[in-house]
Structure 1
Amino acid sequence: MNGKNMTRSFRFALTLGSASVVLAPLALSTGAVAQSAPADSGVAQVQAHMKAVQTMTAAFSQTDRAGRTVTGTMTLKRPGKVRFAYQKGVDTLVVADGKSLYFIDYSVRQLSRWPIGNSPLAVLLNPDKDLARVAKVVPGIDPRLLLVEARDPKRPEFGAITLAFARTPSAPAGLMLQGWVAIDSQNNRTTVRLTDQKFNAPVADSVFKFKDPRPQGPRMR
């Protein structure tokens, strides 16, 4: 397994390259076709979930189209902050610090940066974003899942993201984020699955700082 290639594919899925998104691999198939939730109620429930979740931590597994998988931990703090820390041996990091999304490759001492708004994940990071303008409920194969696709029709170059939520009464607003799948413009699919989700525990802003890998010296961002 090439961890560097895996995390680079994740970088592309998070930024401008995403052309379309599907979520069939995450579905818990029951052999029945789910009835589509009313668009307004489903999107409103997702909006309520995001407003109810100030922080979230989870374990993740990330799989590319060839079936190669890497794992790690995700830490999210709204608004605007997320950190994907990869397993030992994968010398990369993905961090959003409230303003920008960074892809850091310590093995080659490189850093790439994009405005958070240019990332499909922006829909997860801003609880005040009007989802009704950019999101819709899409059909699924399992009635226990709510699938919501978000894309900005005015900015199609920013890509799209379809999120899978399990209907879980004990979770905030009755939803538990299970993951997402992105397909970039080169038809490279990246599937992210979440487990061990925890909500609203204190998370320090320092979690979203990182060491700049570039040769100028050891700076913290």
Structure 2
Amino acid sequence: MKKIIATVLIAAGAGAAWADGLKSLENFMKSAHSGRAVFTQTVTSPPKDGQAVRAKTSSGTFEFQRPGRFRFSYQKPFEQLIVADGTSLWLFDADLNQVTQRAQTQALGSTPAALLASAPDLAALRADFALESVPDQDGLQWVQAVPKARDGQLKSVRVGFAGGQLAALDILDSFGQRSAIRFTGMQLNPELPAGTFTFKPPQGADVLRQ
């Protein structure tokens, strides 16, 4: 009986702590209209044919302005740029000198910034995602978001907060690939240059429109 009581008390205490994650997300949606940070992203693919797990790490800078604008500038190991300007989603691969343009409304579900940058408030998020607080891990409070539409590539996203500050995104896609993004030096509501979310294909680049 003591073990059962202890388990209930621990679960109740943990539930109260987990609820803070959802509250942190709500506060973030209310107060963070724009932001910038440095990020590190580790993409892990499921093993195939007995091979070891493969992981690729990249890094760069991230800016966003809600609703609907964000910019991921990958600097290492290869230069890539992802820009959402409110209408189109642009992907630029510097090595290939190739640009892919997609309608933003159709493409946002497959991007790691969609959850935080596109929705104007928590109510709008709830329209597209089932949200719940999950146990604290790695010193962060977590919220899990599962898309209500089951036909997309995004299976689930976990959003991590440290002291109410956005610190992490963990994305799992329908192919079992996991992308862990960690933010450092997050600045909320900075004055971002006017052209931050404007993209013009470089001269001579191949442009693919989807």
Q: Fold-level match, TM-score > 0.5?
A: yes
Q: SS at the partner of 2:126?
A: helix
In the TM superposition, residue 44 of structure 1 has moved relative to its aligned partner by 4.8
- Residues 61, 72 of structure 1: 8 Å contact kept: yes
Change (3 A) 1:64 1:122: closer
Change (3 A) 1:63 1:216: closer
Q: Deviations over 1:142-189 (max 9, x none)?
A: 4953211223313541523211112x2xxxxxx111111222233222
User: Superposition pairs for residues 156-171 of structure 1, below 5 Å?
Assistant: 156-157=151-152, 159=154, 160-166=156-162, 168=163
- Residues 18, 136 of structure 2: 8 Å contact kept: no
Q: Deviations over 1:2-38 (max 9, x none)?
A: xxxxxxxxxxxxxxxxxxxxxxxxxxxxxx9981348
Verify: 1:118 aligned to 2:112, yes or no.
no
The structure whose Rg is larger is 2
Verify: 1:184 aligned to 2:173, yes or no.
yes
Q: Which residue of 2 aligns with 1:13?
A: none
Q: Which has the higher strand share?
A: 2
Change (3 A) 1:156 1:46: farther
RMSD: 3.1
Verify: 1:140 aligned to 2:132, yes or no.
no
Question: Which gives a bigger RCO, structure 1 or 2 (Cα 8 Å, sep 6+)?
Answer: 1
Percent identical residues: 29
Aligned counterparts of 1:143 and 1:118: Cα–Cα separation in 2: 26
**Which consecutive residues of structure 2, in runs of 5 or more, have no partner in the other structure?**
1-9, 45-53
Aligned counterparts of 1:210 and 1:37: Cα–Cα separation in 2: 44
- Residues 35, 143 of structure 1: 8 Å contact kept: no
Q: SS at the partner of 1:36?
A: helix
**Which consecutive residues of structure 1, in runs of 5 or more, have no partner in the other structure?**
1-31, 169-174
